[in-house]
Amino acid sequence: MTLFKQHYKTAVTALGLSAILATAWALEPTAQELPVNIHPSKYEVLTYLPNCKGFCPAQLKADDLTINLDYELVDGSVQQIDDVTVFKNSKELSEVYLDRSEYERISAAIVGGVK
């Protein structure tokens, strides 16, 4: 009977340690990508639809980045920019941060390209 108790204690201890390790692994925070700040020297409009109404697609080149976005042009100025996707070396960057000044520079490049 003592042999049975010995094996029982070993099995319960192993099960308890497994549960503790599984819980610790499940509660471990996932690795997160930090947002990439974009501050290129200039923006160049590659493609756009000049006579588009509403939201229009555009593709811009910014140093080694390619930016795809939708924009709304109202009375000759960009009213809104939406669905911004940034690629570097044909690979999409999942976390990108564009501040207000970059949006203004993108708007100026689009207006300059749409003329």
Can you give the residue range of the structural domain that contains 74? 36-114
**What pLDDT, on the 0 to 100 scale, is given for residue 65?**
92
**What pLDDT, on the 0 to 100 scale, is given for residue 16?**
79
| Nearest in space to 85 (alpha carbons), one of 105, 57, 104 | 57
The count of domains in the chain is 1
Name residue 26's amino acid: A
In this prediction the pTM is: 0.67
Inside any domain, residue 2: no
User: Mean pLDDT of residues grouped by 10 in the chain (115 residues)?
Assistant: 75 81 74 77 88 88 92 88 91 88 91 69
Inside any domain, residue 5: no
Cα 54 to Cα 79, 84, 107, distances in angstroms? 10, 16, 15
Inside any domain, residue 21: no
| Nearest in space to 85 (alpha carbons), one of 109, 110, 106, 59 | 59
| Nearest in space to 78 (alpha carbons), one of 50, 57, 106 | 106
